[in-house]
């Protein structure tokens, strides 16, 4: 009886809470930014295997063309997401080619490593252009088309790092915090038009790309160490791009408002509200980074 009452309350006071929307991926037009490597490349290949029509955008056209050679039906677009005009044209080109757009995955990101004490305005602006204003422009164009279709799905790849305050990544985490604010704004403002807006938090994903560093040549895992405490190691255990791609397929199949890629990512978001735990984890990252930089003669 209590279970039935709870379900009634959810439907009565939170309409849409239990609404299930299912999408058949086969034949759908899916646009993925940052598709030349990492999460973007793995996601493009995964959706191609499901029978989707794939549009891939990135700065490195040659990498996109290599991926496209093994796909069934694809479009490659050389795009710099820091340029708002290019971001808008990208969406229009996809619609002109395929006649529609069903899913936009805003995945492209600018990751700059820089000490907070010396981070430049130029680096902050570059991160904000790539991680916020470019995706906003693309999302606006996609929304215009999807609203006409009365269907569509926009997935914004966020980062839970802004909640934790990842050291040496201030341009990235600041811009991603702003992107989350944008995503959550349009989730309410654009509701009721048949277009679903999702926010996806992948956590730490190990890829073949190095960050754009201002402190010398550092690896992607330079904040991580097996000598950190259990809690820190738990939150810095990386996922693979292929794992994230499968989760994005499930998200398109069954859209949700917010998805964490794993339990540890969700738990990290909760722990970030407790300053003692949050600072303990982040300080261990700082100590690890400084030790590695010292061993490399970078400081």
> Comparing C-alpha atoms, which of 189, 209, 108 is closest to residue 155?
108
pLDDT value, residue 231 = 58
pLDDT at site 47: 98
Q: Is residue 2 part of a domain?
A: no
Distance, in Å, from the CA atom of 100 to the CA atom of 144, rounded to the nearest integer, reads: 11
pLDDT at 284 over 80: yes
Strand ranges for the chain from DSSP E: 29-33, 53-58, 74-78, 103-106, 112-113, 152-157, 195-201, 212-213, 258-260
**Per-residue pLDDT tens over the stretch 49-103:** 999 999 999 999 999 999 999 999 999 999 999 999 999 999 999 999 999 999 9
For the stretch 85-107, what's the b/e string if a residue is b when 16 or more beta carbons lie within 10 angstroms of its beta carbon?
Answer: ebbbbbbebbbeebeebbbbbbb
Percent of the chain with pLDDT over 90: 68
Mean pLDDT in the chain? 89
Please compute, for residue 210, the number of CA atoms within 13 A of its CA located in the half-sphere on the CB side: 9
In whole angstroms, what is the distance from residue 170 CA to residue 81 CA?
19
- Angstrom CA distances, 163 to 158, 166, 267, stand at 11, 8, 12
Domain assignment of residue 165, yes or no: yes
Question: 241 in a domain, yes or no?
Answer: yes
Q: Report residue 84 CA to chain centroid gap.
A: 18
Domain assignment present for residue 220? The answer is yes
Strand partners, 32: 56, 105
Q: Is the pLDDT of residue 159 over 70?
A: yes
User: 53 has which bridge partners?
Assistant: 29
pLDDT digits (tens, 9 = 90+) for 217-257: 888 888 887 776 665 666 556 789 999 999 999 999 999 99
In a domain, 209, yes or no: yes
Question: Do 57 and 108 form a contact (C-beta atoms < 8 A)?
Answer: yes
Range of the domain at 255: 21-295
What mean pLDDT do residues 119-143 have?
98
Two structure tokens written together for 168: 């040496």
Q: Encoding tokens for residue 258?
A: 């917010």
* CB contact at 8 A, 158 and 200: yes
Mean pLDDT of 191-208: 90
Lowest mean pLDDT among 97-111, 227-241, 278-292: 227-241
Residue 168 maps to which CATH number? 3.40.50.720
Element (H, E) at 286: helix 275-295
Which residues are the active-site residues? 172
Mean pLDDT of 6-31: 61
- The pLDDT of residue 10 is 42
- Is 6 a member of any domain? no
Residue 72 domain flag = yes
Alpha carbon distance 169, 220 (integer Å):
11
Collapsed DSSP state (helix, strand, coil) of residue 94: helix
Per-residue model confidence (pLDDT) at position 4: 42
Give the Cβ contact number of residue 116 at 10 Å: 12
Give the whole-number percent of the chain exceeding pLDDT 70: 89
DSSP-derived 3-state class of residue 236: coil
Q: Which of 36-40, 133-137, 162-166 has the lowest mean pLDDT?
A: 162-166
Q: In terms of Cα–Cα distance, which of 55, 100, 139, 103 is closest to 252?
A: 103
* Domain count for the chain: 1
Reported pTM = 0.88
Evaluate whether residue 89 is within a structural domain. Answer: yes
């Amino acid at each position: 009886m209590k279970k039935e009452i709870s379900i009634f309350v959810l439907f009565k006071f939170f309409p849409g809470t239990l609404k299930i929307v299912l999408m058949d991926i086969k034949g759908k037009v899916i646009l993925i930014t940052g598709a030349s490597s990492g999460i973007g490349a793995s996601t493009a290949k995964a959706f191609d295997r499901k029978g989707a029509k794939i549009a891939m955008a990135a700065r490195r056209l040659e990498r996109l063309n290599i991926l496209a050679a093994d796909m069934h039906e694809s479009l490659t677009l050389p795009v710099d997401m820091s340029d708002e005009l290019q971001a808008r044209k990208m969406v229009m080109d996809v619609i002109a080619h395929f006649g529609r757009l069903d899913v936009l995955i805003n995945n492209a990101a600018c990751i700059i490593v820089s000490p907070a004490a010396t981070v430049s305005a130029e680096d902050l602006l570059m991160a904000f252009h790539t991680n916020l204003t470019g995706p906003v422009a693309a999302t606006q164009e996609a929304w215009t088309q999807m609203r006409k279709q009365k269907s569509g799905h926009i997935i914004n790849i966020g980062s839970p790092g802004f909640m934790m305050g990842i050291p040496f990544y201030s341009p990235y985490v600041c811009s991603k915090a702003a992107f989350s604010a944008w995503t959550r704004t349009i989730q309410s403002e654009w509701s009721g038009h048949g277009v679903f807006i999702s926010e996806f938090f992948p956590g730490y994903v190990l890829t073949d790309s190095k960050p754009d560093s201002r402190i010398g040549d550092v690896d992607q895992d330079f904040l991580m160490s097996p000598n950190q405490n259990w809690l820190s190691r738990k939150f810095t255990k990386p996922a693979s791009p292929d794992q994230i791609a499968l989760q994005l397929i499930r998200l398109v199949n069954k859209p949700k408002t917010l998805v964490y890629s794993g339990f540890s990512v969700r738990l990290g978001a909760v722990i970030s509200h407790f300053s003692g735990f949050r600072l303990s984890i982040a300080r261990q990252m700082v100590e690890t980074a400084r030790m590695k930089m010292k061993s490399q003669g970078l400081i």
